[in-house]
Amino acid sequence: MEKQALVTALSLLMSVFSLLLLVTAIFTDHWYETDTRRHKENCDKYGSDSNDQKNREMPIYHLPLVDNGNSKRNVALMKPIHVGSREEELLENWRAILGMGILETECGRPLFSTYSGMWRKCYFEGMDRDIDKLISKGIADRCTTVKYHFSQPIRLRNIPLNLTRTIQQDEWHLLHLRRITAGFLGMAAAVLLCGSIVATVGFFWEESLTQHVSGLLFLMAGIFCTISLCTYAASVSYDLSRNPPFIYGLPGDVDHGYGWSIFCAWVSLGLTVASGCLCTTYPLISRTKALRSKTARESSV
């Protein structure tokens, strides 16, 4: 019984630590990061047009304009879309810049270093003076909310109808992937919490039964966490491969990859699976040993 209590305590300790890591991953914003400093340096040195990078400091004139429906409209008087506003949700983070040939060059796009999580996407502070200047002027927001609902986008100028439909369909598929990721991650945290509670109850009542049940709950939480992490990786790949590629893709000299938040989630997954395997296999092994010893005693008699 002392060994069984020790196994229960060890699995409970791992599950609690796993839950803390998973909650940390859920509520932090460093799941995916991009670093555009090398890209900016290359464009400043070897760009085909030295004026391309000026778009970083004058984004307002390159954003799409809201069509107010007036046939006698003056383009110069039309309202530009503010970064972070509701109208900007369709094409996030300066990607709505269409109908301009300059964007088809790698140095013509205003790219900034970002980090994103389950709930927000933010620009790094102090890494790029251009975006810091725009944020201080109120032109751009430091962080934008990751949306989990589909809102009917407004019609933007300079965007062909077929391309608008393609973008809407891609947004819809990406939205489904985000919902799956968040949903299964939340279920993993909830089931992991339930397993920890059941393991705690095992110290006071039916230790063998509660240990086995908590192990099954830990394994279930591991399955949910695996689905969530794989779906998140699929959503990142899908987002980068969207059409048109010169708007949604990233140049080769932009450093991008997963951050420490998703590393916490993977470590949490490993600890959860280890706890589940420990709790489910130990009762079976101990029961098998007990049956063997009983059979040996009977045969000796």
- Which residues face 83 on adjacent strands? none
CATH of 2-300, one of 1.10.4030.10, 1.20.140.150, 2.90.10.10, 1.10.3720.10: 1.20.140.150
Other CB atoms within 10 Å distance of the CB of residue 78:
14
Other CB atoms within 10 Å distance of the CB of residue 31:
24
- CA-CA-CA-CA dihedral for 97, 98, 103, 108, to nearest 10: -20
| pLDDT of 90 | 43
Mind listing the pLDDT tens digit of every residue in the chain (301 residues)? 577 778 888 888 999 999 999 999 999 999 999 998 888 888 878 755 545 555 555 544 344 333 444 444 443 333 444 444 544 444 444 444 444 444 556 677 778 899 999 999 999 988 888 888 888 888 888 898 888 877 665 555 556 667 777 777 878 888 999 999 999 999 999 999 999 999 888 788 777 778 888 899 999 999 999 999 999 999 999 888 887 777 777 888 888 999 999 999 999 999 999 999 988 887 666 666 555 555 655 565 5
Phi, psi dihedral angles at 98 (to 5 degrees): -125, 170
Phi, psi dihedral angles at 80 (to 5 degrees): -75, 155
Report whether 144 contacts 114 (CB < 8 A). no
Contacts of 95 by beta carbon, 8 Å cutoff, 6+ apart: 247, 248
Contacts of 100 by beta carbon, 8 Å cutoff, 6+ apart: 62, 108, 158
What is the pTM for the complete model shown? 0.74
Angle at the Cα of 232 from the Cα atoms of 248 and 196, rounded to 5 degrees: 160
Which helix (H) or strand (E) element contains residue 41? helix 37-46
Report whether 44 contacts 35 (CB < 8 A). no
| pLDDT of 250 | 82
| pLDDT of 21 | 96
Cα-to-chain-centroid distance, residue 116: 7
Cis before residue 244, ω within 30 degrees of 0?
Answer: yes
- Which residues face 139 on adjacent strands? none
d(CA 212, CA 201): 12
What tokens were used for 202? 């095992």
Contacts of 16 by beta carbon, 8 Å cutoff, 6+ apart: 196
